[in-house]
Amino acid sequence: MHLFLAPHFDDAVYSCGGLIHQLTTAKKPVVVRTIMGGRPHPERTPQTPVVQELHTRWGQADPVAARVAEDEAAVLSLGAKAGHLVNWLDCIYRMTRDGQALYPTGESIFAGINPLDMTAQLLPTMVLSPEETVDVVYVPLAAGNHVDHLIVRNWGLELAKQYRWLTVKFYEDYPYIATAGELEKALAFFKGADESLHLEPEVIPLKEENVAAKVNAVGLYASQLSSFWSDAAAMNTAVRETLTKTGDGTPAERYWQLPGRA
């Protein structure tokens, strides 16, 4: 089974939609699992600037429920199965034990992991379900330095240590990789952390049917469109341009793998 771990409801489709469609078209079992998929209690939802801004932008009475529905529709459109972990909240909802928001502003989300963030400490200790036979797991490279992407990346590194037979691949976080320098910064972490973490790239060429399926799936996250693009047409253009740039003229997605684990 191919297991894609997404920090949020859209990350795997945004970053890996072409490969997901390619795999399911080839009749490979694929599961897309959102990690920070919990629904905060109304009385325990911090009324911070970033929560208020995002809830206003998303325009939904129940934002998490709406995002779950979008994710299930998008993942299903690619032929995969969607799943969500409900024990972990998006970083914008996480608080300390005395009720202080861990990430109260948009800037704080990209400023590194808060030392008091229990999710960052506990998530990397989780094991894979013994009921699933996972052959390849995909985790974010953490381009863009979003705190939740960093945490899931760290979990991926722990899974690679624990399951020596498991192939762990790191995907390029879209749309963050479209910003100059972000991919290089993410790769620099691996070069600086440990010589054994040197990653090898794998470029996956995509057919037009894979590209079209990805664009369609990205468009199903209607609440997120305005966060990155002016409209659906702009999204279509931007996604295709990034894929073509990645493939040096041919649409492609790129993945990074620890050596000797194919």
Q: Which residue has the tokens 């953490």?
A: 142
Considering only residues 120 and 164, tell me which one the structure prediction assigns the higher pLDDT: 120
Considering only residues 98 and 80, tell me which one the structure prediction assigns the higher pLDDT: 80
Local confidence band at 261 (pLDDT 50, 70, 90 cut-offs): low
> Domains in the chain and their CATH numbers?
2-257 (3.40.50.10320)
For residue 198, what pLDDT is reported? 79
Is the full-model pTM beyond 0.75? Answer: yes
Contact 110, 103 (CB under 8 A): no
CB hemisphere CA count around 94 (13 angstroms):
22
For residue 63, what pLDDT is reported? 86
What residue ranges in the chain does DSSP mark as E strands?
Answer: 2-6, 30-34, 81-84, 136-140, 167-171, 200-205, 252-257
**Residue 229 clears pLDDT 80, i.e. is over it:** yes
For residue 176, what pLDDT is reported? 96
Contact 55, 49 (CB under 8 A): no
Lowest mean pLDDT among 43-47, 133-137, 151-155, 202-206: 43-47
Looking at the DSSP bridge assignments, the partners of residue 77 are none
Distances (CA, A) of 161 to 122, 156, 191, 210: 16, 9, 17, 32
Local confidence band at 1 (pLDDT 50, 70, 90 cut-offs): very high
Average pLDDT of the chain is: 93
For residue 100, what pLDDT is reported? 93
For residue 191, what pLDDT is reported? 80
Mean of the pLDDT values across residues 5-18? 97
Q: Starting from the edge strand earliest in sequence, which strands make up the sheet with 30-34, in order?
A: 81-84, 30-34, 2-6, 136-140, 167-171, 252-257, 200-205
| Contacts of 218 by beta carbon, 8 Å cutoff, 6+ apart | 10, 13, 14, 17, 74, 235, 239
Q: Which two tokens stand for residue 208?
A: 């037009």
Q: Is 180 helix (H, G, I), strand (E, B) or coil?
A: coil
Q: Is 5 helix (H, G, I), strand (E, B) or coil?
A: strand
Cβ burial of 66 (10 Å; 0-12, 13-18, 19+) is middle
**pLDDT tens, residue by residue, 186-217:** 999 988 666 567 799 999 999 999 999 999 99
Residue % of the chain over a pLDDT of 90: 79
For residue 106, what pLDDT is reported? 92
